[in-house]
Amino acid sequence: MRSMSVRGLLSLVAVLLVFPEFANAASIRRDIDDYVLFAIEKLNYKRGTIRGGDVGVNQVDPNPNDNTSQLSFGGKVIMPDDGSHVVSDSVRIDERADVWEVFANFNHGPFEVPRSGSPAPIAFTAPIIDDVKKAIRFPSVFDDDPLNAITVSKNTTQTLAPGSYGKVQVQNGAKLILGKGTYNLTQLVTGRNYEIVWTCETILKVAENVQFGVGGTQGGCAALIQVAGDTVAMGKGSTFEGIVHAPDAKCGLGHGNELVGRFVCNTITTDFNTNVTAPVPEPSAILLGAVGALMAGGYVARFKRRDV
């Protein structure tokens, strides 16, 4: 038997990276970047569509037999991506939910066979990730300036340079423009029908809490938002694009919202009809994936020729 060349081995690795369905389907993924929603303690998603990644709750259930679940999916929660995972030590998933695969050690309630065909939840070893803050590179220091508060007045537009600020308040109908760089804030609070524009290279480090009001628009690209406080709240009927790392916070993702991003929080809850989609990778990541696919295609073609 001829040993595989280094190039062939790299091509095989590319197959598994670009086409993960070829990997072992009975194993959970332990890279936090594979999760579009990741809660440390509890996740309750009422209704909506989740695309582009897995959903998980990290910690071991301290009371697995008390009939409460760390992860709950209500009716009509849809995860349309084949190969996606729901992962939690204990789960309660409404029979109307549509998911590909469920990994759980305790199932509370009826179990509807997922699209993968598994007849029961697949057991796994919790926690998913040993040190969540380390995995997301969460900062230990937040250099905000509580005395330097900023208010964007009603129906006005303001551009803010990177730097250290106190409470930043965006009033009703106002627009805040943020650029490339790091913004150290004490709080970020908005009114209604506002707009915040940022870039892919914007970093918001918020020492306390974030409260987005009703009917707002946040985004332009998936900025990184690191929150050290205990609350991230999104108002009804909003759109959002960003990566939220708030490992000590309760993240309320609201009602009727369209969210493009990834969320790592202590707890995650939604009301009805909120949809979450993982952000599109940066062009460099897309290029890397395309190169991997080409390499994989070459490997598969050579393998088939040898088989003839």
Left if phi > 0, otherwise alpha if psi is -120 to 50, otherwise beta: which for 231?
A: beta
Q: Provide the pLDDT confidence category of residue 75 given band limits of 50, 70 and 90.
A: confident
Give the percent of the chain with pLDDT over 90: 79
Which whole number is the average pLDDT over 119-132?
97
At residue 110, the pLDDT reads 85
**Which of 172, 170, 165 is closest to 152 using CA atoms?**
170
Q: Provide the pLDDT confidence category of residue 70 given band limits of 50, 70 and 90.
A: very high
Among 48-52, 109-113, 205-209, 225-229, the least confident range: 109-113
Which whole number is the average pLDDT over 2-15?
40
Q: Which two tokens stand for residue 285?
A: 């990541």
CB 266 within 8 A of CB 245: no
Q: Please name the helix (run of DSSP H) or strand (run of DSSP E) that holds residue 132, with its range, or none.
A: helix 132-135
Rounded to whole angstroms, the Cα distance separating 101 from 89 reads: 14
pLDDT score of 23 more than 60: no
CB 185 within 8 A of CB 148: no
CA-based torsion, 299, 54, 118, 120: positive or negative: positive
Top pLDDT among 304 and 181 is at 181
Domain boundaries defined on the chain: 31-131, 136-277
At residue 300, the pLDDT reads 38
Q: Report in angstroms the alpha-carbon separations of 279 from 56, 221, 236.
A: 18, 8, 21
State the CB neighbour count (10 A cutoff) for residue 174.
Answer: 22
Q: Which two tokens stand for residue 299?
A: 């490997």
